[in-house]
Structure 1
Amino acid sequence: MNVRQDIHSAGVPVLCQSCEARHRGLCGALEPDQLVELSKTASRHGVSPGAELMGDAEVVERYSNVLSGVVKLTKSLSDGRQQIVGLQFAPDFLGRPFKSESAINAEAATEVSLCSFPRTVIERMMRVSPGFEHRLLKQALNDLDEARDWMVALGRKTASERVASFLLMIARNIEPASDPAARSASFDLPLTRADIADFLGLTIETVSRQLTRLRTDDVIRIESNRHVTVDSLSRLQQRCGD
């Protein structure tokens, strides 16, 4: 990369100027000169659905910002069984700093775009930029809060409430429906019915019945079995049992 040519008049690399991770993600905590340094080692790349991004017990050499798409996180048991334990969206940070090996599997649930950096560079940025380290800690705490909320959903919510909660989570996070003030949303389901059932602790038949129920009640519209339109996010939220 020719950094001299890629620098905007404000000192921000062209690579970073329109990046959501810069504005809403971790990189927003960096000064222009730090962004320049980080951009020298950055590589953007696209990943097809089903591709493994990170393997369990794999040595971590690079971290990534999710620029678009949905990443599926799973945990595996010794006998090969898997459980979906989370989803990541733009501009989430993919990786677990301060650990030499990954303890989770990450797979592209949809077409995914990533901006990746060497682990050594990210760890150096954390040492020299308290703001960067603060944002990383904030995301980790947000992930913990979301995991606790999901424990409540799986342990106490009805099947109907779980499916509604899942759809609301997708509607609020998937692009382009990432505007927190949005009143409606339209998106393709990032998971198959089988994966949704696995994530929610339900059967495929139950997931299908609850989607049909929400459609019959005019809470959602479904086209081509995958595309979901929510005309009123507040109505959907009312079905979540929160």
Structure 2
Amino acid sequence: MTVTTEPMLVPVLLDLTARIYRGLDGIFARMVQLMAGTARSRVCNELVLMARPFGDPRGDGTYALRVTEQRLAELTGLARETVSRELKRLKQEGLLRAEDRLLIVDTDPLSR
């Protein structure tokens, strides 16, 4: 089976290739972020990456996310204490809030 004998495969293969490149682009962006980002940017980036696929939409553009400081530390390569400090700062700035052991994440301001 080749593209010349099965021309309907062309759009499928192009879509697959595009998805692979987008995935690789995301992986490279994450590597750069983990190697060169500040503690704040690493925590914000991880919260945004986790919120949409794993958070519960709240209807007001925010997501309820159940994640521990330890898990965020593991994902960002930071100490738990550093993550705790950054989360506290984000809460003080109104970019994040906590309710019933959940983090309420608004991805738009955190993406900036």
TM-score of the two chains, using structure 1 as the length reference:
0.38
The residue that corresponds to 2:111 in the other structure is: 237
What stretches of structure 1 of length at least 5 have no aligned partner?
Answer: 1-127
Shift in Å, 1:156: 1.3
Structure having the larger proportion of residues in strand: 1
Shift in Å, 1:198: 1.4
Runs of 4+ in 1 over 3 A off after TM superposition: 171-177
The CA distance in 1 between the partners of 2:54 and 2:14, in whole Å, is 24
Out of 211, 216, 221, which is 2:92 matched to? Answer: 216
Deviations along 1:5-27, one digit per CA (max 9) or x if unpaired, are: xxxxxxxxxxxxxxxxxxxxxxx
- Percent identity reads 27
Residue identity in the other structure for 1:164: C
RMSD: 2.6
What stretches of structure 2 of length at least 5 have no aligned partner?
Answer: 1-7
The residue that corresponds to 2:45 in the other structure is: 165
Residues 1:149 and 2:47 are matched in the alignment = no
Three-state SS of the structure 2 residue aligned to 1:222 is strand
Deviations along 1:75-102, one digit per CA (max 9) or x if unpaired, are: xxxxxxxxxxxxxxxxxxxxxxxxxxxx
Residue identity in the other structure for 1:206: T
Three-state SS of the structure 1 residue aligned to 2:64 is strand
Out of 174, 187, 193, which is 2:64 matched to? Answer: 187
Shift in Å, 1:176: 5.9
Residues 1:139 and 2:13 are matched in the alignment = no
Residue identity in the other structure for 2:84: S
Between 1 and 2, higher relative CO (CA 8 Å, sep ≥ 6) is seen in 2
